[in-house]
Amino acid sequence: MSKHSDPKDAPPISNGLADNIGNVRHTLAHLLAAAVKKHYPKAKPSIGPAIDDGFYYDFEFPKGEAPSTQDLPKLEKTMREMLRAWTGFDREEVSARSASAYFKGNPYKLELIKDLQKAGTKITFYTCPPASYKKSLKGTSSDAHSFTDLCRGGHAENPSRDIAPDSFKLDRIAGAYWRGDEKNKMLTRIYGLAFASKEELQTFLEAREEAEKRDHRKLGTVLGIFTFDDDVGPGLPLWLPNGAAMIDELEKLAKEMEDKSGYLRVRTPHIAKESLYTTSGHLPYYKDSMYPPMKCEGVNYYLKAMNCPHHHKIFAARPKSWRDMPVRLAEYGTCYRYEKSGELFGLMRVRSMQMNDAHIYCSEEQFADEFRKVTELYLSYFKIFGIQKYVMRLSRHAPENLGKKYINEPKLWLKTEEMVRRCLTELNVPFTEAEDEAAFYGPKIDVEIWSAIGREFTLATNQVDFAVPARFGLVYTDKDGKQKTPLCIHRAPLSTHERLIGFLIEHFAGAFPLWLAPVQAKIIPISEKQASYAKEIFTQLRDAAIRVELDDSNDTLGKRIRNAKLEKVPYTLVVGDAEIKSKTATLESRSKGKIGALSVEEIINKLKQEISSRAL
């Protein structure tokens, strides 16, 4: 669900785009609902917010009467006809009783009205076309069909003037649980796209078409990287051999980088007693996102949803002095989170994840240097993967929520937020700030990156923790012999295998650099006569730790070469009688085309050099 799908997060929206596009999109949600009510009078509208690329509205339709994708052009045409009359909105403050009477029979609006009444919020109706337009008509007009909605406002001032008829289109239909809760009724959601102009809409559609070609769910299946199975369960990916090869490479990269930076590798179990997560404070905040407990010998055990409490216990296992600090504990730990079914999305939103996690325990004096090193590690990874656009989002606390949503340490909050801000500024790293979005135990950095086609992804978080170490009684002995509580930095620069590989599939369109490619080379003999020699080359490349396949199937040479290209294999080695005679293979690059006949030793050296340098 969109973060705007709950009424408390609903418009008014102003996202800073040209022509106040958030208000335009919100207005179009009203217009969509008006068109739906005209064609489907028995439909029950619920909520309709603006979202990043347009808008949507959720409806309950009588059984068998819901529109299909084929009905969208009809609704879209009606919206354009109605738009001519939408010259403004009439706003009216109403009592809860009047509002409830107006929406009698619509349980969704009635529920919203109760929420507004309970919160002491004004209840307002917005109606379009306005009364002034209707008075200006000498006769009746079908495009003056009136629509009134429960709304807080935030609209285009004059929709007929401010919204170009060709700047929006209805996009698709999906199911959505009321208020995002799978225990509630499934509603019909109609999505629309909306931009400031026809040209921007067209640009978006073209970019989306390219993104669909790079969709990690489709390419991941075609390239044999991962799969899901109903018997295993939703959101629980199975990694096929090609995916496992990529995971091995990413772990190898992380271990190399972390070894250089003085990290110590640890391993922790997949479950723990309830008391561990009570001590950490996670249960009160994240229980709904954790799998239900398993009772064993009268004790509740939870599947691990985060690695940090386990790492805290490892830090506490042996006494520490100032000479040991900082302590950097790293693990590719598997975690489990019960994401709602409607929010699962390929590898990007899963229930089982392998996290490139680490926790750095340091003194206050060491914090700035450690945070700087973590940030530099992120930048190193961006360079390796060819990520050119990124931004760090500093999430701060909100003073009014101390003791409720956040640990009640006002001075520490301000101090650590300023330390993080100063570090980002000194490194000249692009960053933004957001209030009231921190973790409960400290400020955090959300790392936003853009793929090669300009799509934004949230890669990982980098969190400061000044509260939980004290909950676990973590201490080290300082130079003066006094015990002090360390600060903790939570970091996961390579995110999870799932999210990172999902991003990389799109970023590279499945054409991975050689070091990361699941199959790095494919050997193709021209005919059966060269099969024996091809197997010799296969063995030599495999023994050189190059991931290689041999295609000696009965398919034609042309088809086998085409298959290698469809599988996006970086290099193919074609062998015929001439290659047997010269003890060579004809090497062809996916990106550079035909290279020519080289000895097997030359090919191995070339590929090994490219692999070791992790060249793009």
Q: Check residue 153 and give left, alpha or beta (phi > 0: left; psi -120 to 50: alpha).
A: left
462-509 residue pLDDT tens? 888 888 999 999 999 999 999 999 999 999 999 999 999 999 999 999
Cis peptide before 73 (omega within 30 of 0): no
* CB atoms near residue 535 (< 10 Å): 14
Residue for token pair 């101390």: 402
Portions of the chain given CATH number 3.30.930.10: 220-507
The enclosing H or E element of 572 equals strand 571-575
The enclosing H or E element of 204 equals helix 198-213
pLDDT at residue 412, rounded to an integer:
85
Residue 442 CB contacts under 8 Å (≥ 6 apart), including other chains: 407, 413, 416, 463, 464, 465, 466, 467
What is this structure's pTM?
0.80
pLDDT at residue 54, rounded to an integer:
96
The enclosing H or E element of 27 equals helix 21-39
Q: Is 575 helix (H, G, I), strand (E, B) or coil?
A: strand
pLDDT at residue 144, rounded to an integer:
55
pLDDT at residue 348, rounded to an integer:
94
DSSP 8-state symbol, 88? -
Q: Check residue 16 and give left, alpha or beta (phi > 0: left; psi -120 to 50: alpha).
A: left
Residue 432 CA from chain centroid, whole number: 18
pLDDT at residue 573, rounded to an integer:
97
Cis peptide before 129 (omega within 30 of 0): yes
Portions of the chain given CATH number 3.30.980.10: 7-205
Topology at the third CATH level for domain 7-205: Threonyl-tRNA Synthetase; Chain A, domain 2 (3.30.980)
pLDDT at residue 440, rounded to an integer:
81
The enclosing H or E element of 344 equals none
Q: Which residues of the chain have pLDDT under 70?
A: 1-19, 134, 136-144
- Cβ–Cβ < 8 Å for 549, 522: yes
Q: How far apart are CA 357 and CA 368, in angstroms?
A: 20
Portions of the chain given CATH number 3.40.50.800: 521-612
For residue 16, give the amino acid letter. Answer: G
Domain 220-507 belongs in CATH node 3.30.930.10? yes
Q: Which of 243, 236, 304 is nearest to 502 (CA)?
A: 243
Kindly provide the b/e burial profile for residues 476-492, where b requires at least 16 CB atoms within 10 angstroms of the residue's own CB.
bbeeeeeeebbbbbbbb
Query: CATH code for 521-612?
Result: 3.40.50.800
**Token representation of residue 410:** 């006002």
- Cβ–Cβ < 8 Å for 34, 11: no
Cis peptide before 165 (omega within 30 of 0): no
